[in-house]
Structure 1
Amino acid sequence: MSPPSGRVFDTGLQAERTALAWRRTALAMAVGAVGAGRLAVPVLGALALVAAVAGLAQAALVAVAARRRYRVVHQSLTTRGDLTGVRQAGVPIAALACSGVLVGLLALAFVLGD
């Protein structure tokens, strides 16, 4: 797929702002996974490292899916003028929810393991 053209569909740049928000979310997920893993290693050992790696993988999945979605949205808006050809954003949202569950389980294990 070719990169998005330089033509801006709207002056509000909603698609671009949404893409940047998902990028920040992926970065926050990665930082949270590393931080939670780092804090839990003394108590949980290797399980904390596994959870941190899983959190990093989920953050990468969110970043890739959000970038791919931005490209599709941008192409649809600039060529067709609407979003009828764009699917719902289920993958980044599901990965974000799984990350929240993973961090919650890691926090529970940390509290119960202490």
Structure 2
Amino acid sequence: MLANGRQLDDLTGRPRAMNVSQLRNFDEYLGLLRDARDADGLYLAVVERTALFTDNTATTVELPGSFERIARSTDAARYQRREAAVPLWESHLLPGRLFNVNLRRSLKITD
């Protein structure tokens, strides 16, 4: 996948906006800002489609169904599951340049 930072954040399930009620302290807010990808340049990423389970700002990949059912039964608004692309590898290319592009190509891997 070749995309800019914001598009890759959207495709990988990183929220663009966060409710203040979901942040437990100021350190989480700073961590959220640090984890966002840069808006300049392009990102080349190898991704895999998977299920993400979110607890406010924390994201877990492929959480077992039993844990998910227990968590969602306690607070469905706080715990959410969604399909997203998880980067297996990524590289930031051409930093400092602005692009508005999203290019996807499928890659089939066989044994």
Same fold judged by TM-score > 0.5? no
By relative contact order (CA 8 Å, sep 6+), the higher-ranking structure is 2
Q: Judging by fraction of residues, say which structure has more helix.
A: 1
Q: Judging by fraction of residues, say which structure has more strand.
A: 2
TM-score, structure 2 normalization: 0.28
TM-score, structure 1 normalization: 0.28
Structure of greater Rg: 1
